[in-house]
Structure 1
Amino acid sequence: MDKDLLFKYNTPGPRYTSYPTVPYWQNTAPTQRKWSELAKEAFFVSNQREGISLYVHLPFCESLCTYCGCNTRITINHAVETKYIDAVLKEWKMYFSIFGDAKPVIRELHLGGGTPTFFSPGNLTRLVNGLLENAIIHPKASFSFEAHPGNTTDEHLQALFNVGFRRISIGVQDFNPIVLAIINRHQTYEQVVHLTQKAREIGYTSVNYDIVYGLPQQKACYMMQTMLRVIQLKPDRIAFYSYAHVPWIKPGQRNYTEQDLPDADKKMAIYETGRNALELAGYKDIGMDHFALKTDELFIAQSEDRLHRNFMGYTDTRTRLLIGLGASSISDSWTGYVQNEKKVEDYYKRIDANEIPIARGHELTREDLIMRRHILRLMTSFETSWAATSEVCMEVYKALEHLSEMEFDELVEIEPFRVRITEKGKPFVRNVCMAFDARLWADLPQTTLFSQTI
């Protein structure tokens, strides 16, 4: 890989789990009534045809992993589990009043965090059974959860398997003990091995590993050691993404300094080491920061042009409606977004008041919807086109101007009404998407909003 290109295009940029990205949402959230209208419209379009997606945010962790950028609540008091589950289930019932008499068809369910396995196996079972009560499980439903190797027990695996989970995402980050120590991540290689093997023994059909590059004290040789171990365990898919150093947002990252982070040269070496190891082992680049074996559903979905990306990441499931439950969760009706209150206490207050706990949101304009479709296709198919009138607006042609240098560098090919990302350009998919980000170009940030693209 051309190191000069890596340096040239290593600029701050969004991860595009949505368009517009959250910093560019309008200042006022949709009203309860407006969001109910948007959610209801999406429900009746999506439910019978493809089902709907559910994301549940479980924010509690027993200790703070200092690299983490997620919305978390640190506590060792497990008594919080019951109240939180009650609130989530009450929020879910509020959506039933929006849906009317129609039963929701659950196509996708994901438990994220925080640490979902902070909750006991019994409480997770109660949560999931409560979510599925009076709902219909789609025949091709996909249930997944995030697992911390340090506290996910065999009982957790069995309990979640019993209620329909077949996919597990394991937070590996790095196997090196020096790196794990500085980010306050308490887990061992042996725990990852056991968790992987036990999940497969029970019957889980998909195992994902999260690996992070650019962590404090990390070196290219550490990444090579980590990847050799990862390859031996052969997860079906791997999320290999850049550490986002945002201490002004996440104060826990102030437990180390910029001097502890690999500089630009070293970070590039870490990235190239990891990427090359994955490619040599047969993993295919299926999109932004994600790799999969040819036997994995994500790779198959991409080859069949049905790969999708939403707030839960890449998925082989396309639904128009995603309902996010719990503190800080984001919901997506395709034409609008809302995010729940971030603080657990504020979330409880809104639930107690029988309100959907909307803190902020955005209703998409016609231009937003056009640019969203182009960015989504670039992230999932590495190309986009706009032959139809409904696919074009002035901002599409402005995007071509922003792509001129990338075309010169052979990262994209531009044809009449079409842009294709080349094999050489795949590591720079975020940069290509940025060219189509009309709201970003209309209001370029004066301060750092996003992590580096590489």
Structure 2
Amino acid sequence: MEPNSSLITKYNVAAPRYTSYPTVPFWESDVFNPKEWISRLKATYTQSKNDGLSLYVHLPFCENLCTYCGCNTRITKNHGVETHYINYVLREWEIYKAAIDEEIVISEIHLGGGTPTFFEPANLQRLILGLLDDGIVKDGASFSFEAHPANTTKEHLQTLYHLGFRRLSLGIQDFDPHVQYLINRRQTVGDVQRVMDEAREIGYTSINFDLIYGLPLQTQVTVRDTIEKALRMSPDRISFYSYAHVPWIKPGQRRFTEQDLPVGEEKLALYILGKQMIGRKGYLDVGMDHFAKPGDELFKAALSGSLHRNFMGYADRYTPVLIGLGVSSISDAWNGFAQNIKTVEDYYKVLDEGRLPVIKGHLLHEEDEVLRRYILDMMCKGKVELKADFSINDAIVGRLRPLEADGLVEFNNDQIKVTRIGKSFLRNICMAFDQRLQLSKEQKQVFSQAI
């Protein structure tokens, strides 16, 4: 049961990825109050202290620009920037700790970027020890990092393992040399296999591969070859993302043209091929884009109903407080979001003034919180229970009826459930719950295509 071409054509529209609600373009940053944000953060942490908090650290530096990348990066070969940046990240963390003014319990740390393995192992050690200073690591905590296979050394792996890291995610994207050339992302199968072997030997228990479909020059032949090579290495998780082509936001994507990209039915065929290949090897389809082996914590979370989605993607746990440190990082207190300044120089300047480097945010209203729960449940559980007497339920149901007619969702009284075909259109389904998007006329300029 796979989508047909008419569905693909109909639903291939600009759509958010729903790592938050409201999505960032619809935050009310003009009325955002940083003091109220901190007050909400502290209150949420106080109420949920037993759950601990999550830390995301954005390490933006890369030696080379990957032209497909939509992340906030700083390209440099000067590794002298490492120590200075870490000093400021730890300074930002001290401000947050002082604002919370309680014992800090850490449930999760994730290092993203950029390229975290741009940093020397000794500097990563200083960063992590600084984050953990005076805090408590919760039993069963999850520490993970993103790694470039071509520059991740055994020393990186050993250093982070001794600090409590048991998970890593390898950014592969594609193994085809022609595709790698256009996206300027070069690593060999041998690079990946080396890191895999060393990580397993050291004791890492969960290794993820990031793969992307919809990249320039990809065909079913090249994608099949990439996935076959990936599956032979047997990672615990696979993230199979749709390439987001947004050159009006990321000019680096202009290295290739739209004519180089598989689109529409051709692009969806790549996803279906990959999904089928991955599924035949025993991986569970976990939400949107993510697959996990039985026994992996993400797999267990999907089965138990505890799967969560945040700015880092899918997670096997929910912590009400997520604090993002570093340039462009986003923090989440459930009823409020805040995003940091996006340039390194301005980040340093604001911290030198003793202030949090927050540039924008959004404080959720009651309606926002209900809709956020609806969208999270659809993304993570594949079903939504409508809240009784919620003012816009009728409008949501009305927007979902055409999707029901197309076989994407099913209704059972006040429960809405995604169908097997509908899993390929989760972003479109969530749009029906997105009241702010429905009231906007800007989605075509803001978001990438759903398929």
TM-score normalised by length of structure 1: 0.97
* Paired position in structure 2 for 1:62: 63
* Paired position in structure 2 for 1:436: 433
Alignment partner of 1:90: what SS? helix
Taking the TM superposition and a 5 Å limit, the aligned residue runs for 1:135-284 are: 135-284=135-284
* Paired position in structure 2 for 1:75: 76
**1:323–1:331: 8 Å Cα contact kept in structure 2?**
yes
Q: How many angstroms does 1:446 deviate by?
A: 6.0
Q: What value does the CA root-mean-square deviation take over the aligned residues?
A: 1.2
**1:371–1:396: 8 Å Cα contact kept in structure 2?**
no
Please say which of residues 335-344 and 276-285 is displaced more in the overlay.
276-285
Whichever residue aligns with residue 420 of structure 1, its letter is K
**1:170–1:209: 8 Å Cα contact kept in structure 2?**
yes
Distance of 1:446 and 1:320 partners within structure 2:
28
Alignment partner of 2:12: what SS? coil
Distance of 2:212 and 2:365 partners within structure 1:
35
- Count residues with an aligned counterpart: 449
1:39 aligned to 2:41? yes
Whichever residue aligns with residue 394 of structure 2, its letter is Y
Q: How many angstroms does 1:39 deviate by?
A: 1.1
Can you list the C-alpha shifts for 1:335-384, whole angstroms capped at 9, x where unaligned?
10000000111111111111011100000010000000000000110001
**1:19–1:372: 8 Å Cα contact kept in structure 2?**
yes
Q: Which runs of 5+ in 2 are unaligned?
A: none
1:30 aligned to 2:27? no
* Paired position in structure 1 for 2:422: 425
Alignment partner of 2:151: what SS? coil
Q: Identity of aligned pairs, percent?
A: 52
* Paired position in structure 1 for 2:302: 302
Distance of 1:213 and 1:200 partners within structure 2:
27
Distance of 1:371 and 1:175 partners within structure 2:
39
Q: Are residues 446 and 6 of structure 1, via their aligned partners in 2, closer, same or farther at CA, if it must alter by over 3 Å?
A: closer
Whichever residue aligns with residue 85 of structure 1, its letter is I
Q: How many angstroms does 1:280 deviate by?
A: 1.4
Distance of 1:285 and 1:10 partners within structure 2:
21
Distance of 1:396 and 1:175 partners within structure 2:
46
Taking the TM superposition and a 5 Å limit, the aligned residue runs for 1:388-403 are: 389=388, 392-403=389-400
Q: How many angstroms does 1:30 deviate by?
A: 3.0
Can you list the C-alpha shifts for 1:227-274, whole angstroms capped at 9, x where unaligned?
111111111111111111111111111111112112433212222211
Q: Which runs of 5+ in 1 are unaligned?
A: none
Distance of 2:438 and 2:404 partners within structure 1:
19
**1:29–1:358: 8 Å Cα contact kept in structure 2?**
no
* Paired position in structure 2 for 1:357: 357
Can you list the C-alpha shifts for 1:180-204, whole angstroms capped at 9, x where unaligned?
1111112111101111121111111
Q: How many angstroms does 1:386 deviate by?
A: 2.5
1:110 aligned to 2:107? no
Q: How many angstroms does 1:448 deviate by?
A: 2.1
Distance of 1:269 and 1:309 partners within structure 2:
26
TM-score normalised by length of structure 2: 0.97
Q: How many angstroms does 1:134 deviate by?
A: 0.4
Distance of 1:271 and 1:254 partners within structure 2:
23
Can you list the C-alpha shifts for 1:57-100, whole angstroms capped at 9, x where unaligned?
00000000000000000000001001100000000000111121
Taking the TM superposition and a 5 Å limit, the aligned residue runs for 1:119-130 are: 119-130=119-130
* Paired position in structure 2 for 1:405: 402
Q: Are residues 422 and 314 of structure 1, via their aligned partners in 2, closer, same or farther at CA, if it must alter by over 3 Å?
A: same
Q: Are residues 307 and 450 of structure 1, via their aligned partners in 2, closer, same or farther at CA, if it must alter by over 3 Å?
A: same
* Paired position in structure 2 for 1:18: 20
Distance of 2:278 and 2:204 partners within structure 1:
22
Alignment partner of 1:394: what SS? coil
Q: Are residues 334 and 411 of structure 1, via their aligned partners in 2, closer, same or farther at CA, if it must alter by over 3 Å?
A: same
Q: How many angstroms does 1:21 deviate by?
A: 0.2
**2:386–2:414: 8 Å Cα contact kept in structure 1?**
yes
Alignment partner of 1:324: what SS? strand
Q: Are residues 27 and 353 of structure 1, via their aligned partners in 2, closer, same or farther at CA, if it must alter by over 3 Å?
A: same
